[in-house]
């Protein structure tokens, strides 16, 4: 069990959101899409130029830019 930044995750790796270190609009947008501490997800893939990243969450798929992923701390095995 260790904490890493979402950007460092590999494809198909899964993890659980530990913290979102953003404020204001960015924080709100991330949370409004269901990414809150405790949410489990896996990395579905990355775009051809490695950014954005696609996440697989229980019922849906989300894409976010690395610049947003940088705010998200993830607990991985």
Q: How far is the CB of 8 from another protein (least distance, A)?
A: 18
Q: How far is the CB of 47 from another protein (least distance, A)?
A: 5
Here's the x/- map for another protein, 30-59, by CB under 8 A: it reads as xxxxxxxx----x-xxxxxxxxx-x-x-xx
Number of Cβ within a 10 Å radius of residue 27: 14
Cα–Cα distance for residue pair 46/54, rounded to 1 Å:
6
Three-state DSSP state, 62:
strand
Number of Cβ within a 10 Å radius of residue 10: 8
Interacting residues with another protein (CB under 8 A):
20-21, 23-37, 42, 44-52, 54, 56, 58-65, 67-68
């Amino acid at each position: 069990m260790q904490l890493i930044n979402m950007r460092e995750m590999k494809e198909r790796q899964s993890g659980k959101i530990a913290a979102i270190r953003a404020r204001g609009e960015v924080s709100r947008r991330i949370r409004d899409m269901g990414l809150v501490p405790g949410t489990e997800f896996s990395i579905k893939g990355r775009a051809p130029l490695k950014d954005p990243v696609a996440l697989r969450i229980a019922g849906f798929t989300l894409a976010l830019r690395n610049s947003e992923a940088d705010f998200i701390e993830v607990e991985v095995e």
